[in-house]
Amino acid sequence: MKLTVIGLGQCGSRVADQFARLNSKARRERKAVIAPNVIAVNADQADLTGLKYIQTDHKHRILIGLRQTHGHGVGKLNELGAELARADGDKIVDAIKSNPYFYQTHAFLLIAGTGGGTGSGSLPVVAQMIKERYINKPLFVLAVLPFEHEQDTESRTLYNTATCLKSTFDIVDAVFLADNQRYVEKDASLVNNIEKINRQIAEPFYDLMCAGEVTQAKNVGTRTVDGGDIMASLEGWTAISTGRVTLPSFRFPWEINKKHFRDKALESSRGTQALEATVGDMSVSVNPRDAGLALYLTAGPAKEMSMDMVQSVSSYIKEIAPQAVIRGGDFPGEKHFIDVTLILSQLAFVPRIKEIYEKGTIYGQDHQIQLDEIHGKIDALAQLGKDLPTL
């Protein structure tokens, strides 16, 4: 599956940067192109400069709102972010349609951090703009939810998230949710933490996008998961994850062909072990029983993926997500691991969304009351000096 990837704001652009890295990795290792056009859009010039993998020309790194912000961002005001996206939206559309590989892509993926200003404000605006112009291409969103400390200390962050998600959900075909807090390593440095989190958010898409785009016969699975399977498995709130089991580093050829019965049993269980790791580390906390659609992909060396393994993975998913329509397949693309990627979509209930909507509504009401009180006090103070002469 080929995607046109557009990162909005600081967080969205940095995650999009990881998709550009994955595209280079896919071309180098698997002779596949999975994201031929990756674009970063931001109102902050310094953030755009700090990207590593996205091309540096003005068609791939787009600065919006230069006249209003002078290249220094919108200060968490998502209303201003939306206004700038409306004003400079033609830059984004021009960058999309001028790319020679655009019409080879199957869908759009918009990425944004929901707690900031530029990303959360521009996401629904850009989504609506794309949906109106390219009605035949599915439109997906990867929404990155804020850290706990952000929503606890910066109330505006929660309000931005709630309004962004509400405004975006009805426009797009599916919203992938990635909760920043689930990826945090407490003792790691801030720079390393953010870099690793961005990688972890993007990584689960890698095998899925490669599976239908590989050009070498050895990488084609028995049951290929291609763009049609993926698009048919995405609707509404969506979670994604990849779990991994490391294979023994070296074995003699006769050890592969003559397995001890215990080793054979262990081999068959590797798929379910990877799946358990996947379910326990979904991009957002959900109950698989709330999913209406599920898609899985088992990746590993062809000799290590048996029919027993694939059947056990499929049966396990049916057990934990009994209401879901399940699609899946295998991908002999990995060399040293067994990876299981799982998408749970058409989620009927997401606790994190419920929390965000409830707290965001309270903040909106309280904030308006506070604004009215502040303006009242300012007006009262001004009245005290109304009889004084002006110099």
The whole-angstrom separation of Cα 238 and Cα 175 is 6
What pLDDT is recorded for position 150?
A: 82
> What radius of gyration, in Å, describes the C-alpha atoms of the chain?
23
**Whether 231 and 173 share a structural domain:** no
Residues 93 and 52 occupy one common structural domain = yes
Residue 165 tokens read as 């998600």
CATH of the domain at 93: 3.40.50.1440
Look at residue 372 in the predicted model and tell me its pLDDT. 62
In the chain the beta strands, taken as DSSP E runs, fall at: 3-8, 37-42, 61-63, 107-113, 139-145, 174-179, 236-246, 293-299, 325-331, 337-345
Q: Per the domain annotation, does 379 fall within a domain?
A: no
Tell me whether residue 166 is in a domain. Answer: yes
> Which 3 state secondary structure label does DSSP give 107?
strand
CB 295 within 8 A of CB 240: no
Looking at residue 303, its pLDDT comes to: 82
Same domain, 28 and 164: yes
Cα(313)–Cα(72) distance, integer angstroms = 49
**Does residue 370 lie in a domain region?**
no
Q: In what order do the strands lie in the sheet with 3-8?
A: 61-63, 37-42, 3-8, 107-113, 139-145, 174-179, 236-246, 337-345, 293-299, 325-331
**For residue 134, is it within any domain?**
yes
Domain edge (last residue) among 168, 203, 238: 203
- The answer to whether residue 243 is domain-embedded is yes
Same domain, 155 and 42: yes
Q: What is this structure's pTM?
A: 0.89
In 3D, which of 87, 66, 157 has the Cα closest to residue 120? 157
Q: Are residues 152 and 245 in the same domain?
A: no
CATH number of the domain where residue 307 is located = 3.30.1330.20
Contact 84, 125 (CB under 8 A): no
Spatial CA neighbour of 111 closest among 81, 144, 137, 135? 144
pLDDT for res 339: 92
Q: Do residue 91 and residue 163 come from a single domain? A: yes
Residue bearing tokens 């003699």: 252
| Per-residue pLDDT at 366 | 62
Q: Is residue 94 part of a domain?
A: yes
Residue 221 within a domain: no
User: Is residue 177 left, alpha or beta, with left meaning phi > 0 and alpha meaning psi from -120 to 50?
Assistant: beta
Q: How many domains does the chain have?
A: 2
Q: Clarify whether residues 18 and 72 are in a common domain.
A: yes
Q: What is the pLDDT of residue 386?
A: 76
Domain that holds residue 42: 3-203
Residue of 156, 155, 157 whose CA lies nearest to 144: 157
Name which of 333, 129, 128 is nearest 224 in CA terms. 333
Q: Does 218 map to a domain?
A: no
pLDDT at 73: 77
- Mean pLDDT, 10 residues at a time, the chain of 391 residues: 95 96 93 94 92 94 88 83 92 93 93 93 96 94 91 82 94 96 68 84 94 81 86 96 82 53 63 90 95 94 83 92 93 85 96 92 69 67 74 71
312-365 pLDDT per residue, tens:
899 999 999 999 999 998 888 777 889 999 999 999 999 999 999 998 888 767
If asked whether residues 286 and 332 sit together in one domain, one would say: yes
Same-domain pairing of 160 and 255: no
pLDDT tens digits along 311-327: 889 999 999 999 999 99
67 and 127 both lie in a single domain: yes
Same domain flag for 39 and 185: yes
Residue 374 CA to residue 77 CA, distance in Å, equals 19
Answer positive or negative: Cα dihedral of 283, 286, 232, 107: negative
> Tokens 């002999």, residue?
332
- Domain identity same for 191 and 231: no
Buried-exposed string 106-128: b where 16+ CB fall within 10 A, e elsewhere: bbbbbbbbbbbbbbbbbbbbbbb
